[in-house]
Structure 1
Amino acid sequence: MAEEKVVYKVVATDENHEVNVESYDWNKSTQEIITFSFFGGYTTMTLPMGIIAQRFGGKRPIMLALFVNGVVCICTPWVPLVGGWVAMSASRVLQGLTQAAMFPSIHSLLAKWVPLSERGRLSTYVYTGSQAGTILAFQLSGLFAGSPVLGWPVSFWVFGTLSLICFCLLGYFGVGSPHEHPSITAEEMAFILHDGAVDVVPKKRKTPWRHILTCKAVWGLVITHAGSALAYLLILTEIPVYMNHILGVDLKRNGLYSSLPYIALFLMAIVFGNVADFLANRKLMSVVNIRRTANTIAMVLSGLFLLAFSCVHSTVLAVTLLIIALGLHAGTHVAFHINHIDLAPNFAGPIMALGNTVANLTGLLAPVIVSNIVMDDVKNHRKWQYVFIIVAVFMFITNTIYVVFAKGTVQPWNFYGEEENDAEEKEMTNKTDKQLNKKNSLQDVIR
């Protein structure tokens, strides 16, 4: 049983009063359980959420995620008071279960709304919201936590409120597909749907899992997604420990060092998106070669800079190399990350859910690799280098698999169920005609 203890720390005093901030003294294992709870819920529900997004569209699952996470986030400072670390873990599971809807649902919406000529730009604009949120969270959380007046709970209240505001905005302004938009023009509709790869009017298509699971191009992007996730989670979770013990820099306390790599990721994603569309629209490169090239930059070049990062002892040089590595990794946004839409826009949500599930399971290997190689010897530079070598090699191998099997054209099974839908529509038309004929015959008899 984990030890529960509430501690009140004096963070500021003046002549009239002192300000107390409540904190929870949990041991390391309990903290890890709470952290893992989110990823457990997220990974478990990712694939089902892809199926839900496919069936009901992307808008409603995202709204559910925003609402639940907003409410839970606002309540988080009080949750441990009610049920301790167990209640805290349960709340994190709930957040993970609902946040699993985000990527599959966003992909489902992008497939319906984004034309091929703007796929690189608009997709990166949407997904860079994640990096923008990370940068904002780093800065505001540090500001609130260090404030003698506000304290750490304010971070949860602010971000929870922002989530609920986004929920309201999406509910009021958001539309699941072009044909549902009340004021869209015929020209706009034609521009969005001109390539004919996505259903103009949503059809009840059953997800063709047999075709998806036997498609080499799908497995290519799923495997490289796993390689990308392992590298990203290593940077997100283990780099702060490495920088602290090897280079003597506490990234958690240094907002500038914490934010710079993600600022680079944000800016470079936009650059990659615009360059990809330029090359595609000018017919300078085929879609599949754009995906291959961007993925190689994001996995191979980024991996090389990550290796270089592990070999230097200068803090400034290390941070510079990390910024370049993460900036180049932004190429994934116009590589495997939107290749799902290239292959099958009608089933982009389920395919993204499949890839995201495998990627998150693979990403959990990052702390396992570190704990088995570095163990408690966190100041051993050579052991850390072994970790970076393993991750970089994994990035190189998964990129090679993607490059070999990648495709940039719509697959035939994107229209899976076309015959069933046509037969159903024909049956409905015949039924309507029979009812009209019956009604006309009855009127003739009355006359």
Structure 2
Amino acid sequence: MSSRVEVKETVGHISNDRNFSMDQVQTSRKGCFAVRYLVAFILQLCNFSVYSQIMSLSIAMPAMVNTSAQTNRTNASEEEPLTVLNVSWNETQEEIKAMAPAYDWSPQIQGIILGSVNYGSFFTPLLSGYLSGIYGAKYVVGVGLCISSVLTLFIPLATDTGVVLLIVIRIVQGIAQVNVTTSQYSIWIKWAPPLERNKLITIAMSGTSLGCFILFLLGGVLCQTIGWPYVFYIFGTTGCVCSLLWLSLVSEKPTNHPFISTTEKAYIECSLAQEDAIPHWSVPIKDMIKSTALWTILISHFCESWHNHIILSYLPTYINSVLQVDLQYSGFLSSLPFVLGYICVILEGQLADLLHSRKLLKLITIRKLFTAVGVLSSAIFILSLNWVRSSQVTTLAFLILSCVLNTWLYVGVMINMMDIAPRYAAFVKGLALIFEQIAGAISPTVSGYLRNQDSESSWSNIFFLSIAIRLVGLIIYLIFGKAEVQDWAREQSFTQF
């Protein structure tokens, strides 16, 4: 409660300080080296580390499995092979097996292993978001990233011991990763001015695309040259370094940061003064349960995460098996959607802030428009994959475009909780992440089952089911989505948790 009083006293002091002019405000807004952007870029590195660790098993899986070529070959056999990419397919497989151990895992077991990172984290986001809203996100994020990184280093040893231990390690790792992805949102209610919120959040969130890009770019090369265990060693070590950077260079709020200027500190606090977003010990659970706006966000997160987890888990496998591209090049090709997505996410945040600050569109219109563009445009390219398999180049282009266009959702429904409940942003993100984790646990498992049952049409079935679920989520969001602060999220209305 003391932090709440401190903020109000500080804001009152600033509002009475006539030396803080509008020129200083504009200077602070345009500052290229503002500390709030340093926070965003360090958080980008944290997200980079988390997602590179999440995806490490996906890129290493084809090298870890003896039957990496057991996939849909029916249509692939009719295709004209990429002569450059497939020159040494069989030789590559033998070289990989000689460098690191390989295991006899069926597609169904692979799906369970890939989805296990989400099995134990269904309720962790709730506790993580609640605690970070009260005690602060700095240590929750830092410790979570450190634990995840250390466990990543132990994955090769766990894999050699047995599937059960690997799944247990992945479950605990998923719980630690949830602390990072959930708690970071409480940082922005103290650091992000409302008219810069889209920009700062998307800079931080773009680390997810950056992590996938670097992992896919280097992972296949590492698997093919020095062995798949080094994927986990390198990205586990990188995560440890990023957790130290976060704990050393980021403070919970601007008033505590040793390097922030008085002008920037005043600008941030003045910008946030009108927004009732101070975290509270109480959470209005009863009102949340009745909130249509909140349920709309939760359902939408489930629907979108179903598709996202399939892409994250199976994109390298799809390229490796359906297109018959070897591991080195499949990793490179899998990375292309994410490097373009990394750029697009940042640009989309800039566009959203421009439309909002100049009042060209209402905030809810921006959210729904960006969400609809992301879902519908990416769905068109995903659905078209079934009819363009005769051309590997076209297939790759469609995969890349679908992933890039999907990034529009990051400025749509994916950050909508900041609009309806800034005070409880981390807690609501925790709720949304529970739905994401449920989708992340189910979708790879279901996809593995479909691949195991029907090799000829498995990928079509997987994609059709994914798109159908996403369209249901989009329709619900377009009808019921809101972007104004809800009554239950205001200071005067709360019920004890």
Question: Which TM-score bucket, shorter chain as reference?
Answer: 0.7 to 0.9
8 Å Cα contact 2:284-2:494 kept in structure 1: no
8 Å Cα contact 1:295-1:335 kept in structure 2: yes
Letter in 2 for 1:60: Y
Match of 1:96 among 174, 192, 202: 174
288-297 or 102-111, larger mean C-alpha shift: 102-111
Letter in 2 for 1:108: S
105-114 or 202-211, larger mean C-alpha shift: 202-211
1:220 has 2:296 as partner: yes
1:30-60 CA deviation, whole Å, 9 max, x = no partner? 5555434322123342222222222221111
Match of 2:223 among 145, 150, 163: 145
Q: Give SS of 1:351's match.
A: helix
Match of 1:390 among 445, 453, 465: 465
Partner of 1:131: 209
Partner of 1:172: 248
Letter in 2 for 1:409: E
Cα distance in 2 between the residues matched to 1:30 and 1:368: 8
State the 1:250 CA deviation: 5.2
Match of 1:39 among 118, 123, 135: 118
Larger relative contact order, structure 1 or 2 (CA cutoff 8 Å, min sep 6): 2
User: Does the C-alpha gap of structure 1 residues 269 and 180 become closer, same or farther in structure 2, counting only changes over 3 Å?
Assistant: same
State the 1:384 CA deviation: 3.6
State the 1:61 CA deviation: 1.1
Cα distance in 2 between the residues matched to 1:377 and 1:384: 9
8 Å Cα contact 1:45-1:100 kept in structure 2: yes
Letter in 2 for 1:315: Q
1:408 has 2:497 as partner: no
Partner of 1:378: 455
Partner of 1:350: 427
Q: Give SS of 2:482's match.
A: coil
Match of 1:56 among 128, 132, 135: 135
1:289 has 2:289 as partner: no
Partner of 2:336: 260
Please report the RMSD computed on the Cα atoms of aligned residues, expressed in angstroms: 3.2
8 Å Cα contact 2:320-2:330 kept in structure 1: no
Cα distance in 1 between the residues matched to 2:330 and 2:319: 11
Q: Give SS of 1:269's match.
A: helix
1:337 has 2:414 as partner: yes
1:210 has 2:289 as partner: no
1:398-423 CA deviation, whole Å, 9 max, x = no partner? 112112222222223223467999xx
Match of 1:399 among 452, 474, 485: 474
1:302 has 2:378 as partner: yes
1:62-113 CA deviation, whole Å, 9 max, x = no partner? 11112112222223333456x5433333222221111111221111112221
Partner of 1:162: 238
1:72 has 2:147 as partner: no
8 Å Cα contact 1:46-1:356 kept in structure 2: yes
Structure 2: stretches of 5+ with no match in the other structure:
1-63, 67-90
1:110 has 2:188 as partner: yes
341-350 or 33-42, larger mean C-alpha shift: 33-42
TM-score normalised to structure 1 length: 0.81
Letter in 1 for 2:132: A
Q: Give SS of 2:122's match.
A: helix
Cα distance in 1 between the residues matched to 2:375 and 2:118: 24
Letter in 2 for 1:68: I
Cα distance in 2 between the residues matched to 1:364 and 1:84: 20
Partner of 1:442: none
State the 1:386 CA deviation: 4.0
Cα distance in 1 between the residues matched to 2:280 and 2:406: 37
How many residues were matched structurally?
Answer: 404
8 Å Cα contact 2:133-2:280 kept in structure 1: no
User: Does the C-alpha gap of structure 1 residues 252 and 107 become closer, same or farther in structure 2, counting only changes over 3 Å?
Assistant: farther
8 Å Cα contact 1:43-1:361 kept in structure 2: yes
8 Å Cα contact 1:112-1:345 kept in structure 2: no
Q: Give SS of 2:184's match.
A: helix
Structure 1: stretches of 5+ with no match in the other structure:
12-18, 422-447
Partner of 2:273: 196
1:345-396 CA deviation, whole Å, 9 max, x = no partner? 111011111111112212444345545655433233xx54343233222222
8 Å Cα contact 1:44-1:97 kept in structure 2: no
Cα distance in 1 between the residues matched to 2:215 and 2:494: 49
Larger radius of gyration: 1
Letter in 2 for 1:91: I
Q: Give SS of 2:387's match.
A: coil
Cα distance in 2 between the residues matched to 1:363 and 1:417: 36
Cα distance in 2 between the residues matched to 1:90 and 1:6: 19
User: Does the C-alpha gap of structure 1 residues 234 and 386 become closer, same or farther in structure 2, counting only changes over 3 Å?
Assistant: same
User: Does the C-alpha gap of structure 1 residues 293 and 419 become closer, same or farther in structure 2, counting only changes over 3 Å?
Assistant: closer
Cα distance in 1 between the residues matched to 2:327 and 2:455: 16
8 Å Cα contact 2:212-2:338 kept in structure 1: yes
8 Å Cα contact 2:152-2:232 kept in structure 1: yes
135-144 or 191-200, larger mean C-alpha shift: 191-200
Report the identity percentage.
27
Q: Give SS of 1:42's match.
A: coil
TM-score normalised to structure 2 length: 0.73
Cα distance in 1 between the residues matched to 2:209 and 2:450: 30
8 Å Cα contact 2:316-2:330 kept in structure 1: no
State the 1:271 CA deviation: 1.9
8 Å Cα contact 2:285-2:495 kept in structure 1: no
Letter in 2 for 1:254: S
Partner of 1:271: 347
Letter in 1 for 2:143: L
